[in-house]
Amino acid sequence: MTVRGAEPGDAEAVRAIRNHAIEHSTALWTQTPQSPAEGAAWLAAHLERGSAFVAEAEGEVAGFAVYGPWRELDGYRHTVEDSVYVREGRHGLGVGSALLTALIASAREAGHHVMIAGIEAENAASVRLHERFGFQHAGTVREVGTKFGRWLDLTIMRLSLD
């Protein structure tokens, strides 16, 4: 498996992974899948910042990771939020860890100060992945989201990049 910077040609593979998570999980709190145009625009915004990576295994995109602004106001400009998604069927094989390694290194190199992860509280795989890289639990905000007819709690995790 190799991790490399994402390219515009990865947009459809990335969109398929995202849309699968939108349709089948509570990792992304929406039930509206991305269209091809929305997927291309979403990835392009990350490509401009150089904040998107893909993992390739056996000739296919096995997962992707991006970081972007945590909040929009300029006072938050040294804080980024990450997002890591591995293709169904390739979970638990180290793909997420390889992607997060590259993502953290890139955010550090870009001079960011803090990386935040916002995780649905019951997503044990994502919590474990982030713990493994030294993210610390900053708290869980109860019932701030909803999907599939139930309330969702958001666990915030924080990594210092200095």
Residue 22 binds ligand COA, judged by CB under 6 A: no
In the complex, the smallest distance separating the C-beta of residue 85 from ligand COA, rounded to whole angstroms, is: 5
Rounded distance between C-alpha atoms, residue 56 and residue 95, angstroms: 9
Q: Which of 96, 106, 116, 135 binds ligand COA (CB under 6 A)?
A: 96
Q: Are 86 and 95 in contact (CB under 8 A)?
A: yes
CB within 8 Å of 59: residues ≥ 6 apart: none
Q: How far apart are CA 11 and CA 18, in angstroms?
A: 10
**Nearest to ligand COA of 11, 129 (CB atom):** 129
State which residue, 58 or 162, has the beta carbon closest to ligand COA: 58
Backbone φ, ψ for residue 70 (5° rounding): -75, -50
Region from 7-15, 42-50, 68-76, 85-93 binding ligand COA, contact rule CB under 6 A: 85-93
Q: Where do we find the tokens 């992304």?
A: 28
Nearest approach in angstroms of CB 23 to ligand COA is: 12
Contact residues toward ligand COA (CB under 6 A) are 21, 25, 27, 84-86, 91-97, 119, 123-126, 128-129, 132
